[in-house]
Structure 1
Amino acid sequence: MLAELHVELVAANRKVWSGEATIVVARTVSGDVGIMPGHTPLLSVLESDPVTIRTTDGGTVIAAVHGGFISFSDNKLTILAEVAELADEIDVDRAEAALGRAKSGEDSAAQRRADVRLRAASGTN
């Protein structure tokens, strides 16, 4: 088994993160998937959810990902997201306020986005 895979996390407006990883965990429309080096090729639609990347240096990168696609082939994993934010980029106060507004307006899509952002910022999936 190979020891690492190359990961590119790209949002519609920017490259969010790039590097080497030992495993990436993401939620697709078919369920949660863990991609490790040597995984079978994959192409799937992403659900809005935190994505966890375990880096080869032992670190963890968590990003709030809202929609898009995940593709794996030849030990290269690409996450093409409509919107993506690294956990340390998320303004928790702003996300909590957005969640409150979404709940009062009963906007389930906005509630989901705010919830994903808060879970990513706290490091929980």
Structure 2
Amino acid sequence: MAEPMTLQIITPDEIAYTGEASFLVGKAIDGEFGILPNHAPMIVALDIAPLRLDAPDGQKHYLAVFGGFCEIEHNQVSIVTLDCQLPDSIDVDRAQRAKQRAEERLVSKSPDIDVERAEHALARALLRLHVAKYV
């Protein structure tokens, strides 16, 4: 078995995650990608989507990653993102309320509504709700 990769997820406020992974699955702005140990060097622009990491012990972990960049080099994976949330840190009630507000804005069709901003808020709320299921 190949030596696991080291993963570090960095936000503007903290190092949100540090650990080892035997496999990563994420979503780039142009589709899904997977990373195994000894992957060729690569930089990926990330979408707002879950990141699945398989730990060396076989456990699967899910994290909410809110865009950013992923760099792979020498079995080191570095993710720089505006925010990263672990399932147990997500406030499900708050995410549900944010989802409802965003959906109401999008349905209202009011000329005062910033549609792109509402769509972004909805994507973030849906991501949080999706990842929170993995607690």
Shorter-normalised TM range: over 0.9
How high is the sequence identity, in percent, across the aligned residues?
Answer: 32
In structure 1, the residue corresponding to 2:2 is in which secondary structure? Answer: coil
Counterparts of 1:1-125 in structure 2, within 5 Å, are 2-106=2-106, 107-123=118-134
Unpaired runs of at least 5, structure 2? 107-117
TM-score norm. by structure 1 comes to: 0.93
TM-score norm. by structure 2 comes to: 0.86
Q: Distance in 1 between matches of 2:39 and 2:45?
A: 17
Give the stretch that moved more between structures: 82-91 or 55-64.
55-64
Give the number of equivalent residue pairs.
123
In structure 1, the residue corresponding to 2:47 is in which secondary structure? Answer: coil
Amino acid at match of 1:27: K
In structure 1, the residue corresponding to 2:38 is in which secondary structure? Answer: coil
In structure 1, the residue corresponding to 2:123 is in which secondary structure? Answer: helix
Asked which structure has the greater CA Rg, the reply is 2
Q: Distance in 2 between matches of 1:86 and 1:60?
A: 13
Q: Distance in 1 between matches of 2:47 and 2:121?
A: 14
Unpaired runs of at least 5, structure 1? none
Q: Distance in 1 between matches of 2:52 and 2:102?
A: 25
Q: Distance in 1 between matches of 2:13 and 2:59?
A: 25
In structure 2, the residue corresponding to 1:105 is in which secondary structure? Answer: helix
- CA RMSD, 1 decimal: 1.2
Q: Shift of the alpha carbon at 1:56?
A: 1.0
- Structure 1 stretches of 4+ with a deviation exceeding 3 A read none
Q: Distance in 1 between matches of 2:17 and 2:60?
A: 12
Deviations 1:56-114 (A, max 9, x none): 12222211111100000000001111111111110111101110011111211100000
Deviations 1:28-64 (A, max 9, x none): 0121011110111110110000111111122222111
Amino acid at match of 1:68: G
In structure 1, the residue corresponding to 2:68 is in which secondary structure? Answer: strand
Q: Distance in 2 between matches of 1:49 and 1:12?
A: 18
